[in-house]
Amino acid sequence: MNIQDIQAILSGIIHPEKNKDIISLGMVDKISVNDEKIQFTLNFQKAKDPFINSLKKASEFAIRNKYPEFKGDIVILITEAAPKKVEKPEQTTTTGGIKNIIAISSGKGGVGKSTVTSNLAVAFAEKGLKTAILDADIYGPSIPKMFGLESYKPLAERTEGRREVILPAETNGIKIMSIGFFIDPEDALVWRGAMATNALRQLIHQTEWGEIDVLLIDMPPGTGDIHLTIVHELKLTGAVIVTTPQEIALADVVRGIKMFQSEGIGVPVLGIAENMSWFTPAELPDNKYYIFGRNGGKDLAEKAGLQLLAQIPLVQSVSENSDNGTPESSVYTAALADSIISRL
């Protein structure tokens, strides 16, 4: 447990009157963590704020609930002073050195969005591009497992005169930050949702990405709060929609496309990546079985006036490699990378 963990937990505590969490409100200060004691200060702007006690209790409860094994003291000091200013995202963002930010999205889960994201990142890196992934899929953050990074604990660093930054993992020449590094998959979804939006905002603005050519964002399936957070906090270059040939009839896919294209959001949809297009058994390399139907993604692209960026077959080694933490590019994901590059 470290300062970031405590910040992530406290970013789920909402001040009822201000309707914002206590981290975003700049109320939390001087966090220290060790085996015996967790201590921090809660700054209240208003003397005799009626929520002092309930927020203090809620903070302690949230920490104990998250870390039942911690038996030490939780000391919450209260001060009544103007909260320090929360820096504006434009001033704090760490994404200034990133040339292209691409959201990888899908209508629903299980179509291979994360697998395509990982393999695509490998393809970009193999082309010599400085590549990064931000895994924002709060419902199933699978990028850490796909790169064998389940035990990675992101470190925070504060250099003199600078604010605190969080260091991404780096493997296969790809920088990786995942919401999965911060949330416990066993936490209740409703709790996770509240924490995740704030934690994600922090990841977006505090991750030390450095110079990056392409940042891929593994989005949660469907449309929701996380999508809005991402499109508001980051300037996306475009979105890629992953679908299987079978999903085309699903309203969710169309809704996803419309969300990016809507007036308030205005993120260009670069095209459709059709995954699981056919199955080729290793022993019959020339055979193609269209088990989820044929050309569904292509038809969808035509109907929506979008480009079909690539068709990626169902291959046993693809799923084995992502289970083993060794994602690999193939001619298909390399083709997808080329199609995307040509549209940037």
- Strands (DSSP E) contained in the chain are 14-15, 20-21, 28-33, 37-44, 73-80, 98-106, 131-135, 156-158, 164-166, 169-171, 174-178, 212-218, 238-243, 269-279, 308-314
Does 234 bind ligand ADP (CB under 6 A)? Our answer is no
Residue 66 interacting with ligand ADP (CB under 6 A): no
Number of neighbours of residue 90 by Cβ within 10 angstroms: 9
Count of other CB atoms within 10 angstroms of residue 251? 9
Measured from the CB atom, the residue of 89 and 140 that comes closer to ligand ADP is: 140
| 109 counts as binding ligand ADP under rule CB under 6 A | yes
Matching residue, tokens 């419902």: 139
- Contact set for ligand ADP, span 274-303 (CB under 6 A): 275-276
Using the rule CB under 6 A, which residue among 14, 267, 315, 337 binds ligand ADP? 315
Give the separation between CA 160 and CA 139, rounded to whole angstroms.
Answer: 36
Cβ 114 to ligand ADP, closest distance in Å?
Answer: 3
Report the SS3 class of residue 54: helix
The type of residue at 310 is A
Say how far apart CA 237 and CA 215 lie, in whole Å: 10
Per CB under 6 A, which of residues 237..276 are in contact with ligand ADP? 275-276
102 contributes a contact to ligand ADP by CB under 6 A: no
Binding status of residue 106 toward ligand ADP by CB under 6 A: yes
- Of 156, 314, 335, 341, which lies in the binding site for ligand ADP, with binding defined by CB under 6 A? 314
Of 113 and 201, nearer to ligand ADP (C-beta) is: 113
120-149 residues in contact with ligand ADP (CB under 6 A) are 140, 142
Nearer to ligand ADP, 2 or 287 (CB): 287
Q: Coil, strand, or helix at residue 217?
A: strand
What are the residues binding ligand ADP (CB under 6 A)? 106, 109-115, 140, 142, 275-276, 312, 314-315, 318-319, 322
